[in-house]
Amino acid sequence: MLRLAKSKLGSAVKHPLLREFLGFGSSTLLEQASRVITSLIVAGMVGPLVWGIWYVLNLALRYGSLAHLGSLNGLNRQYALEMGKGNAEEATALLRASFGALLVSVVVASVISILVTLSFGQSEYLTSILLTLVLLVFHQLYGFTTTAYRARIQFRNVSGFQAVIAFVNPAVSLPLTYFFGLNGFIVGQGIGYLVVVAYAFSREPALYRFAFDAVRAKRLIGIGFPIMLVGVLYALFNTVDRWIILQLFGTVELGYYSVAIMALGAAAMLPQIVSQQFYPRMSREWGANRDLKELTRMARTQGLLGLLPTAMVVVAAQLLGPPAIRWLLPEFMPGIPAFRIVMLAPLVNCFGQGYANLLNVTDRQYRYMGVLIAAIAGNALFSYIFALRLGLSGIAWGTVLGFALFAGGLIMVGSRARQK
């Protein structure tokens, strides 16, 4: 019996997916830890008011990253699906068409950035707004690079890129923030993205060959636009708390609550890591066999694999997070109760993400959107009602309930999907 257990344990450790998870997961956690630590230090440098301004500007970065109209989303799914069909040549053509479409979107985004910035006139944060919109362009290039490698199931390369970001970001951002404040922090992030793109280009210049292929670009957008709309709705769902805080309380309170936002983002990374690993595999499986039962099995497996490491991170955050905030960021202590509550959200979120992948892979994005719309409404309603009585803690409880509604809806809709 002992030998059998050891044999199974040894086989599990040697399993390619687990080894990939350990490498990709550790680099993702390293990057996220680097971002969180850097953000905490910067928050302490600039104070709650300016840090709250950054979280408002960050909304433009989140929503503006969808300027490619879904071409990257289409590539992320369709490349693996075409490889599953054995169409390697078409997969490569789609890769180049996607980069061509991205370049067009970067030019359009740059023009819009200039026009939007000029419309702010003599705003106190005019320079910060302009730099954030330029940062958006760099973020788009980084997004193409990582999407291409994930679609090809080359997570070892993605791990290397994330390790570069983990070291470059604090090394550049912290000194620039010290001398130039918020503007230096924004510039530092942009430099980090450019370093990664340059590193990837030095390793594989062919990745950045592009084609202005209108037919394939249109196809990718047709595939990816519904997936992108899901992303838009998810971005709204994931930022409902910030909008309600701004409406009811103000920028300083958003600065306090930012410790909860950072913690939620960090803990949510683990189920996202597993999701990113499974997504191209599910796409390839769907392209090869069109077996919905197998996708459902993979969706359940994904949820279980994401739960254990997420639970470990949540427990560690509950024990270590509040004392760390009191020690490092005493000005942000009003956000500690919300921090404790919102850390429950990643746990409930684990269960639904596999079914989210299933719905995207099988072109059931509109059902996914229906779940998201209901979750957004529930999140906003719960957060608003609870905030009136409990303040920032009420916002946190509304967020947790919103995530529970989202995960439950995905499970219900995904498990009832039928073979087309």
The boundaries of the domain holding residue 340 are: 19-415
The string over 362-382, giving b where at least 16 C-beta atoms fall within 10 Å of a residue's C-beta and e elsewhere, is bebbebbbebbeebbebbbeb
Distance CA 108, CA 280 (A): 29
Assess whether pLDDT exceeds 90 at residue 171.
yes
Note whether residue 11 is domain-resident.
Answer: no
Give me the helix-helix angle, 126-151 and 155-180, nearest 10°. Answer: 170
Mean pLDDT within 166-188: 92
Query: Which of 105-109, 294-298, 388-392 is the least confident region?
Result: 105-109
Distance CA 81, CA 74 (A): 10
Q: Render 6-49 in DSSP notation, one character per residue.
A: HHHHHHHHH-HHHHHHHHHHHHHHHHHHHHHHHHHHHHHHHHHH
- What pLDDT is attached to residue 51? 82
Q: pLDDT tens, 141-152?
A: 898 998 888 888
Q: pLDDT tens, 189-224?
A: 999 999 999 988 988 888 888 888 888 888 888 888
Mean pLDDT within 386-391: 89
| Average pLDDT of the chain, as a whole number | 83
- What pLDDT is attached to residue 214? 86
Instruction: Classify the phi-psi angles of 70: left when phi > 0, otherwise alpha if psi is within -120 to 50, otherwise beta.
Output: left
Assess whether pLDDT exceeds 90 at residue 288.
no
Beta-carbon contacts of residue 289 (< 8 Å; ≥ 6 apart): none
- What pLDDT is attached to residue 384? 92
If you search the block for the tokens 């793109």, which residue do you land on? Answer: 197
Q: How many domains does the chain have?
A: 1
If you search the block for the tokens 């509950």, which residue do you land on? Answer: 318
- What pLDDT is attached to residue 21? 64
End-to-end CA distance of the chain: 45
Note whether residue 375 is domain-resident.
Answer: yes
Q: pLDDT tens, 39-56?
A: 888 988 888 788 878 877
Assess whether pLDDT exceeds 90 at residue 173.
yes
Distance CA 38, CA 50 (A): 15
User: How large is the C-alpha radius of gyration of the chain?
Assistant: 21
Assess whether pLDDT exceeds 50 at residue 1.
no
Cβ contact 78:221 at 8 Å: no
Note whether residue 1 is domain-resident.
Answer: no
Q: pLDDT tens, 114-138?
A: 676 666 555 667 788 888 888 888 8
- What pLDDT is attached to residue 145? 92
Please give the biggest Cα pair distance in the chain.
Answer: 75
Note whether residue 121 is domain-resident.
Answer: yes
Note whether residue 66 is domain-resident.
Answer: yes
- Report residue 397's pLDDT band, with 50, 70 and 90 as the boundaries: very high
- Residue of 239, 237, 261, 241 lying closest to 390 (CA atoms): 241
Neighbour tally for 111: CB within 10 Å: 10
- What pLDDT is attached to residue 204? 87
- Residue of 204, 198, 95, 105 lying closest to 147 (CA atoms): 95
